[in-house]
Chains A and B, each alone.
Chain A
Amino acid sequence: MDHRPFEDWLLDTQPLTIDQKRQLNTHLRTCSSCAAMAEVNLALKSVSMTPPAAGFTDRFHIRLAGRKQALRWRNFWGFSVLTLSVLGVFGWVSGPVLKDLIQSPVNLLASWISSLVSIWASFQAIIRAGMVLFKVVPGFVPAYIWGVILFAAGGWSLVWVVSLMKFSKYPEGV
């Protein structure tokens, strides 16, 4: 059986004409499916809200207090574990150094200065090598390759910027 346009008439909020009402009533007498839809529609329009049991707000305050307490405990334990871990790692790393410092401070100081000097020398060497490469390499690479590299770098940067903008937005709702 064709239920159109009766289904639309039943769900439509516009008032029906007298002729449409007559046609609909005739159809409803013979079509159980549309009659069920009419009954459901009527039942839906006459529904009432179910309120919560009395004392909802008091129960909310109890739950909120419990949640705050749990959060405080979680923060306390989190902070304690983090502090102990940091102290443990610091002790483990600095233990041998402290021992050396107490036993022979001059030797330890000399080794530190020598390490700093060697780091500085390595850094200088890297800069010099980089300068030489910077002068020599452009002569070997054709201009169009540089174009491709610049284009790829630009595209990659764009992807990064768009991704950061997208993920840094707050979601709607929670």
Chain B
Amino acid sequence: MTDETTWIIQAQQGDEEAFTNLVETYQKPVYNLCYRMLGEPEAAEDASQETFLKVFQNFARYDRQRSFATWLLSIAAHHCIDKLRRRRFNTFSIDEDEEGQTELPDRSAPDPESETARRQEGELLHNCLQSLDPTDRAAVILRYWQDCSEVEIAQTLKLTVPAVKSRLHRARRALADSWEEKTARVRTERKPYGSPAF
């Protein structure tokens, strides 16, 4: 029996220490999923905390035949999808909110220039992700960040495998369109600052 299985059994019997071990183990994938889904660190923190609370309160319902990670990520993904659906009625824009959130490059990194480029690319991808439909976004995050197979994504999001394939294809196409549009905008914005000599 693995450590994780032991913690799950103990946590189902109400052992808080065992549950703490599960939180320690899964905090990063759950937080990352919420952050990529919701786009903001504060909202991601709140959503991931709520996910663990839901799991704690409903642990008796967990079927040990299923993968714990899939069950946990399924709860997190559905929580975020619900939040995003509710957010549609709100008036504020994520793009506006993120404008002031430029991360400074890590000076201790071996190559600051490539580190900056990598960060900019990451930010661009993060912004492109926000333009996707919530379920498509969840499928992309589970595929690339959590390394889930199409079957696991189908189980997590309660979809069929062909539906996952089609959603992934559509999402990557949409991401590419958004990427193309955003990089073109960045290039035209940079032009006025460029030297006329070049």
Listed in ascending order, the chain A residues whose CB lies under 8 Å from chain B are 7, 11, 32-34, 36-37, 39-41, 43-53, 56-57, 59-61, 63-64, 67, 170, 172-174
- Sort A-B residue pairs by CB-CB distance and give the 9 closest, nearest first: A36-B180, A37-B176, A52-B31, A49-B32, A36-B176, A44-B144, A174-B58, A56-B27, A40-B175
Contact between B180 and A52, CB atoms less than 8 A apart: no
Name the distance in Å between A132's Cβ and chain B's nearest Cβ: 54
9 A-B contact pairs sorted by A residue (CB < 8 Å): A33-B180, A40-B125, A40-B179, A49-B29, A50-B36, A57-B23, A173-B75, A174-B55, A174-B58
Nearest opposing residue in chain A for B51, CB measure: A174
Nearest opposing residue in chain B for A44, CB measure: B144
Residues of A within 8 A of B71 (CB): 173
Answer whether A39 and B179 are a contact pair too, CB < 8 Å, given A11-B169, A63-B53. yes
Contact between B78 and A173, CB atoms less than 8 A apart: yes
Tell me how many residues of B have a C-beta within 8 Å of chain A.
47
Secondary structure at the A interface, as helix, strand, loop or mixed, is helix
Listed in ascending order, the chain B residues whose CB lies under 8 Å from chain A are 16, 20, 23-24, 27-29, 31-32, 35-36, 41, 44-45, 48-49, 52-56, 58, 61, 63, 71, 74-75, 78, 118, 121-122, 124-125, 128, 140, 144-145, 158, 169, 172-173, 175-177, 179-180, 183
Contact between B180 and A60, CB atoms less than 8 A apart: no
Answer whether A36 and B49 are a contact pair too, CB < 8 Å, given A51-B31, A174-B61. no
Residues of A within 8 A of B44 (CB): 52
Query: Of B56, B71, B118, B172, which is in contact with the most chain A CB atoms at under 10 Å from its CB?
Result: B172
Residues of A within 8 A of B56 (CB): 64
Complex CA–CA separation, A59 to B75 (angstroms): 20
Answer whether A52 and B28 are a contact pair too, CB < 8 Å, given A44-B140, A170-B61. yes
Name the distance in Å between A133's Cβ and chain B's nearest Cβ: 50
Contact between B53 and A33, CB atoms less than 8 A apart: no
Complex CA–CA separation, A113 to B71 (angstroms): 63
Contact between B172 and A57, CB atoms less than 8 A apart: no
Contact between B32 and A51, CB atoms less than 8 A apart: yes
Answer whether A32 and B180 are a contact pair too, CB < 8 Å, given A43-B121, A59-B49. yes
Q: A34-B176, A52-B28 are in contact. List 9 more A-B contacts (CB 8 A).
A: A32-B180, A36-B176, A36-B183, A37-B176, A39-B179, A43-B125, A56-B48, A57-B23, A64-B53
Complex CA–CA separation, A114 to B123 (angstroms): 86
Answer whether A57 and B20 are a contact pair too, CB < 8 Å, given A47-B144, A52-B31, A64-B53. yes
Nearest opposing residue in chain B for A45, CB measure: B144
Contact between B179 and A60, CB atoms less than 8 A apart: no
Residues of B within 8 A of A174 (CB): 54-55, 58, 61, 75
Nearest opposing residue in chain A for B61, CB measure: A170
Residues of B within 8 A of A63 (CB): 49, 53
Contact between B28 and A47, CB atoms less than 8 A apart: no
Residues of B within 8 A of A43 (CB): 121-122, 124-125, 179
Partner of A50, one of B23, B32, B52, B140: B32
Nearest opposing residue in chain B for A67, CB measure: B53
